[in-house]
Amino acid sequence: MKNIIDFFKGLFMGAACAVPGIPNSIFRGKFNKGNRKNFIFMPIALGFAVGLLLISNVISWVCEFYTGPAYALFTGLMLGSVPMLINKIRKSGFYPSYLIFSAFFAVLIVFISILSNDYSAAFPEFAAIKAISGIKDAAVIFTGGMFFCSLPVISGISGSGLLLSLNQYGNVFYAFSNIFSKPDCIPVIIIFISGSLTGFLVVMKFLEWVREKYLYITYYIAAGVIIGGVFSLLYNGLLNFYAGVWYVSDIIAQSLIFAGFAALGFLIVRRLIISNKSVRSDFRG
């Protein structure tokens, strides 16, 4: 019975981690030193993998066929961490010079997002890179893996949200879902894992050091990542949708629908943060 319960715990955690915008710090308490060893064995790890792949495929399908509402929801999820982040910056003191960290990461996220998008395609697919065709593809997949594994060490940042903002969500989970049926997916996975290991061994260690020595700087980094991520979601998801809408009444109606989904996502993350002690403590002054 315990194994079954552990499997469903892992299933839920993997499913939640697959949702773009849900901060990874929500699950920090699940991976303390007392249970990390247990996680790497069955059945929690199995449940986590199943939940991650299952929900990621659902999300990929929804993003491809219901782009507007999906991107609006995930935008709201990403914005859900902003009130707590602003409160933390306010209590720790506002340092205008540290906005350079916010600007750097915001521009970096947007740049990679634009670099990895195929704007020449009449009907771009959500999984644009199904096989590595050059250095550019390898670079964006590697960077996506590096950021996916490292930046979520900062509270308020979602690994899956980063992948979506960088236009790598569909690429990565398409590759993992078809690893046994499409050999071209294997190089994508190898490069992504290489980037993840680099992020884990190098970038994450550096960010942990920054968090321990200069905690307040991480707030500005998180702000920049969220700003860049939200801009990318709006630019690649919602604004493209409006290109095919000509009537003012339709624009207003769709805007209200998008606003509703964004508000829903915002409230979901606010509720998760408020109800999670380990996350809430990160934002206390």
189, two tokens:
């996975």
Per-residue confidence (pLDDT) for residue 36, from 0 to 100: 46
Against a cut of 0.85, is the pTM above it? no
Show the CA angle centred on residue 257, arms to residues 251 and 263, nearest 5°.
Answer: 130
Judge contact between 106 and 227, C-beta under 8 A.
yes
Show the CA angle centred on residue 215, arms to residues 224 and 113, nearest 5°.
Answer: 20
Per-residue confidence (pLDDT) for residue 75, from 0 to 100: 92
For the beta carbon of residue 118, count every other beta carbon within 10 angstroms.
Answer: 10
Q: How far apart are CA 155 and CA 31, in angstroms?
A: 15
Judge contact between 165 and 113, C-beta under 8 A.
yes
Instruction: Name the residue with tokens 């380990």.
Output: 278
Q: How far apart are CA 281 and CA 285, in angstroms?
A: 9
Taking each helix axis as running N to C, give the angle between helix 67-79 and helix 215-233, from 0 to 180 degrees, rounded to the nearest 10.
170
Q: How far apart are CA 101 and CA 103, in angstroms?
A: 5
Which spans in 123-214 are helix H?
135-150, 159-165, 169-177, 185-198, 204-213
The per-residue pLDDT for range 103-158, each reduced to its tens digit, is 999 999 998 888 776 554 444 567 777 888 888 889 889 998 998 888 888 877 88
Per-residue confidence (pLDDT) for residue 33, from 0 to 100: 45
Per-residue confidence (pLDDT) for residue 76, from 0 to 100: 92
Residues in the chain where the model's pLDDT stays below 50: 31-40, 120-123, 283-285
Q: Is 130 exposed, middle or buried (0-12, 13-18, 19+ CB in 10 A)?
A: middle
219, two tokens:
């707030």
Judge contact between 221 and 105, C-beta under 8 A.
yes
For the beta carbon of residue 91, count every other beta carbon within 10 angstroms.
Answer: 12
Judge contact between 46 and 7, C-beta under 8 A.
yes
Closest C-alpha to 173, from 198, 197, 139, 148: 148
For the beta carbon of residue 259, count every other beta carbon within 10 angstroms.
Answer: 12
Q: How far apart are CA 107 and CA 101, in angstroms?
A: 10
Per-residue confidence (pLDDT) for residue 198, from 0 to 100: 93
DSSP conformation class of 201: I
Helices and strands of the chain, counted as H and E runs = 15, 0
